Chains A and B, each alone.
Chain A
C-alpha cells in the first residue's frame, strides 16, 4: 500500500543531509514566501510534509524539488528553523539517487568514504591511462601537449566518455520522465513535446525561473557557474581539436581563446563566491553543506586552477611542468565529469530543465483537454490551503 507511513524515511534522508524537517509544524509560511511556488505546484511545505509522513512514492512523483532554485527565502522566514530550502535540496539529492538505476548515486550521496574512494580510483585510472597510453615521444624543447597526447586521440577518449555519460544520464532522465509523467507519459501527443522543446532550451540557457527569486546574487552566481561550465564542456568535448593547441597560441581575440577565458573567469568567480559563502554560512543556502557540495566545488575549482596553470606553463614554454599539470588536470576533471554528471550534483543540470519542460507539456495537454476530477482534487485542496495561509 503506497500511502503507508514509512517512519524510516526521515532517518534514511538524514544520510542525504536532512536535518531540521522534523521541526516543521506545517504553518505554510515557506510556501507563501516562496517566489516560485504556484497554486498548481505548491512547495516547499508539501515536500516537508511528504517527508515527515514517509511518503516515498509521492516524493518520487513530485516535480516540485526541481522547480526550486534554493534561494533560501523559505528558510529565512520559517518560524521553526525547519530549513525547508535545505529540505528541498535534500529531496533533490534523494531524487537523483532514486532516478539512478545503477544505485551508484545513492552510494555516492550516503557515504563520504565511497565518494572519496570512487573519485580516487577514477583519478588513478586516468593517471595510469595517461602514463600508459601516449606517443612515448614527448617534445622536451617546447611545451606541446599534442606531442604526447594528440588531440585526436583525446577526442576519441572524450567521445567514448561522452557516450557512456550520455547513456547513463539519459537513461536516468528517462526514468525521471516516467516518474513525473506517470500514466500520462505516452498519452500526450508528441506534437506537444515538440512544440514545448524551445522552453527547455530557453530555461537551460537563461535560468529564467531563478531570476524570480529575491536574491539576485544567487541567480547570477548560478548563471556564471552554469555558463562557465557549459562553455568549457563544449571546448573540451566538442572543440578539443581546436582547444588543445600547442604554441603558437591563438591571438587574444580568437573566439576559442576568449571563450576559454570567459569560462575560467566565470567558474572561478562562481565557485569562489560559493566556497566563501559555505565557509561563512551567512546565507541560508550555504548554511548546510553536504559532503557532495564540497566535493563538487573543490573538484570544479581544482580543475579550473590546474587548467590555468597549464595555460601559463604552456605560455612560459615549460614542457615538463606542462605535461605533469596536464596529467593532474585530467585526474581531477575526469572523475568530476564521470561521477558528478550522471550520479550527483551535476545531474540536476539535466533534471531541472527536463522537469520544467515536462510540466509545460503537461500543462498544455491539460489545457487542451479537461483533466479528470480526481487528479485535481488534491492539487486544489493544497492550493486553497496555501492561499489562506
Chain B
C-alpha cells in the first residue's frame, strides 16, 4: 500500500494557546515531508471530522495522524475506515501538564509528533485473522449443575447451539441432593426447583446433552475448538466456538478435619452434606438409631478460613446451617438448634435469613474453637462464647453437624505446579530468575491439548480466574469462561447470575473471533502476532511465556501460534530473543525507531531526557489522569505507550541509552498473587527480564540506576509526579548520559 500521510493538529482545548503550532506543523511538513498538514480549532467537531474525511476521499490520504487529545477519548469521532491511524496526545500529556508557551513544552510536543509520525511510517495495514477451518459458533458447557444448566438455557435463548456435558448419570449437580433451598430474596426456605430447570434443558432443541460423559480432549481455540466427548465408551467430536466451564465443587474431606470437631467419634457427628441427605428423606433423624432429633448443634467453618485446611470462606455454609437449623425447628418447634460460628456470614441480602433463624428460636454461639466431646453416651459441644466471655456447654445433643466447605473441582487431581517446580529443581539452579509456574491441577475437566497444561490455570486456592476484580469470568485460556462455584464459592442465586455472565462472555468471544478481532482487554484489535519463522531458533521462550497459553509447539520446538486464543498482549514479542514476532502496528523495530526519533539535546543544554515506557492499561491512563487534574510533571519525560510491559524487549533499553537519553522508567501493573496486570504475567516478566539488563548496561558502561521499574494502578496517578521527580533527581546525581551527541 502506498502511504499518503496526513497530519491534523487540533488547536482547541488550550493546545493552540500553549504551543507554537506553525513550528509543530513544520516537524511534519519539513522533517517528515508529510504532504497534508492541517489545523483546526475544534477537530472533534463535525466539521473537523468532515475535514479529515474529505482528505481521505479526495486527496487519497490513508495514513492519518491526529495530534489532539488522548487516544483514550474521542475514539468514536476519529474512526475512519480503511486507513491507518495514529493519535498524538498533545492535550492530556503535553499542554495540560506543562506550562503554556515554554520552550520545554514545545519540545515535548514536537517529540511526540516525531514519535507518532515515525510509528505511522512503519505501520502496515492489518488483515483480520481468519483460520483455515470453518469457524464454529456453538457453545460447550462443561458441568450440568445449576450453573451449567442455566448457562445452557441462556445460550440457547440467545440463539446458540449448546453441547452440555455432565459427568454424572443425571443432570442436576450438587443441588440434586438438596431438600430445601436458600436463595434470593432470602426470606424463607424455598422449594428446590431443580427439576423444572432440568426439564427446560431437556426440552430445548438447541441443547445436546451428554450425561455420564466427559470432555476427553479439547484442542484448537475460540471458534476452532475441537471437543472430543466420551459417553459410555463411545466418543463424539464437536466443533466449538467457546466454552463455559461450570464443573462445580466438592465438599472438603471431613476425615482431614481436626479431631476436636469429633468427625468419626460418633455416627451422630455428620457433615452438612450428610445432613442434607438425611433431610432429603423427609424426616430428620439420628444416624445412630433413627430417632427424631431433639437437639442439634451446627458447627461452622469446619476447616474453612483455616490455613491448614481451606484458607477461604466458602460463602454458603452459614446459609446452609441457618437453613438446616430452621428445618430442625420446623420439624419440631420444641427441638433445640444451636449454631456455633466464628463469624456469621450471610453475604448479599442474606441478613434477612439470619433474622429468620433468630425468629425461629435458633441459638447462636460465637466461638473460635468449639470442641465436640462424648461424655459417656452424651454428645456435647464445649465452646468459649466470645459474646458471653465464658465457656458454655451444649449438652444432650442428638446430632452435631459440621459445616464443611467448598473445594473447586479445579483444585482436585495431581498438583501440576508442584510437579513442574520439581522438574525445574532437577535441572539445577537457573542462571536467571524463572517465571513461577501457574497453579494447576490435573482435574480431568477440560483435558486441553495445550502446551501449557491440560486445565485452567488457577489462583492460590485452585479457583481459575484471571482477574477477580476487573474481569470476572475471564480465565487465562481465551474462550473458556469459568462460572459458578468453580470460580469462587457461591450459592444458587449467584451461580445462576454467573452462568448468564459467562455465556455473555462466550458469545462476545465467538462474535469477535469470527470477525478476526481480539477479545478483552484489547477488544476489537485486528492485529495479531506474526512469526518470521525462518529465523526462529526454537528457544521456546514464546511458548513458555505467553500468559494465555496461546502458542503450541511441535516436537522440534517450533512455535505453533493459535491465533484465536491470542489476546494481543505482545508478551511473545518481548520474549523472543530473535525479535521475529511482530504486529502490523507494533513491533520491536517500530518502537526502537520511535525511541530514536526523540530529539536529545546535548549535555550543555542541560535538558536531560527520560523515557517512560507506560503500560496502556493502567499507567498510561494514570498519566492522562494527571492531565485531567491539571497537575504538573517533569518536563524531561517522554511517554511511550506499550501494550503491556511484558512486551518489553531489552533491545529498547539499549536503544534508549545509546541514544543518549538519560534514563528509562518502566511503569506497569502490580504483579504477584494479587496481581492487577491485565495480561496477568506481563509486568512480572518485564521485571524478570530487567534482572538481565545489567548485562546490557555493563556493556555500555552505564549505571544501573538509569533503569527503574515501578508498578502503579490508575488511582495512584497523584503519586506519579513525585515519582518522576525523584527519578529525575537520581539521574541528575548520576550525571548526563555520556552517549549524548553520538
Contact = CB atoms under 8 A, between A and B. Distances in A.
17 contacts: A3-B390, A3-B392, A5-B365, A5-B393, A5-B395, A22-B358, A22-B359, A23-B358, A49-B388, A53-B363, A53-B365, A53-B388, A53-B392, A55-B392, A378-B390, A382-B389, A385-B389
Given A7-B336, A378-B390, A53 B385 contact: yes
A4 B388 contact: no
Given A7-B336, A23-B355, A52 B393 contact: no
Contacts of B393: 1, 3-5
B391 A3 contact: yes
Interface in A28-83: 49-50, 52-55
Nearest to A26: B387
Nearest to A10: B361
Contacts of B361: 10, 22
A81 to B, nearest CB: 10
Interface string B372-388: 00000000000001011
Interface of A: 1, 3-5, 7, 10, 22-23, 25-26, 49-50, 52-55, 378, 381-382, 385
Given A3-B391, A25-B358, 13 more contacts: A5-B393, A7-B338, A10-B361, A23-B355, A23-B358, A26-B387, A49-B387, A49-B388, A52-B364, A53-B363, A53-B385, A53-B388, A385-B389
Nearest to B344: A25
B394 interface: yes
B245 to A, nearest CB: 39
A1 B378 CA distance: 14
Nearest to A28: B387
A385 B389 CA distance: 10
Given A22-B359, A52-B364, A5 B338 contact: yes
Contacts of B338: 5, 7
B341 to A, nearest CB: 12
Query: 7 tightest CB-CB pairs across the interface, nearest first?
Result: A7-B336, A26-B387, A381-B389, A4-B393, A22-B358, A5-B392, A4-B395
Contacts, number: 50
By CB atoms of chain A within 10 A, which of B338, B387, B392 has the most? B387
Contact of A7 (B363, B366, B388): B363
Nearest to B354: A25
A180 B1 CA distance: 99
Contacts of B355: 23
A381 B338 CA distance: 24
Contacts of B390: 3, 378
A25 B355 CA distance: 10
Interface in B335-358: 336, 338, 355, 358
A54 B385 CA distance: 13
Nearest to B387: A26
A380 to B, nearest CB: 9
B363 A5 contact: yes
Nearest to A21: B358
Contacts of A381: 389
Nearest to B391: A3
A22 B361 CA distance: 7
A55 B388 contact: yes
A23 B619 CA distance: 50
A136 B718 CA distance: 103
Contacts of B385: 49, 53
B389 A52 contact: no
Nearest to B389: A381
Contacts of B366: 26
Contacts of A382: 389
A376 to B, nearest CB: 12
Contacts of B336: 7
Contacts of A26: 366, 387
A378 B389 CA distance: 6
Interface centre among B295, B358, B388 (most CB of A within 10 A): B388
B363 A52 contact: yes
Contacts of A25: 358
Interface in B423-475: none
A50 B388 contact: yes
A25 B391 CA distance: 18
Contacts of B395: 1, 4-5
A7 B391 CA distance: 16
A4 B389 contact: no
Contacts of A22: 358-359, 361
A308 to B, nearest CB: 47
B339 to A, nearest CB: 12
Nearest to A1: B393
Given A49-B387, A52-B363, A4 B392 contact: yes
Contacts of B388: 49-50, 53, 55
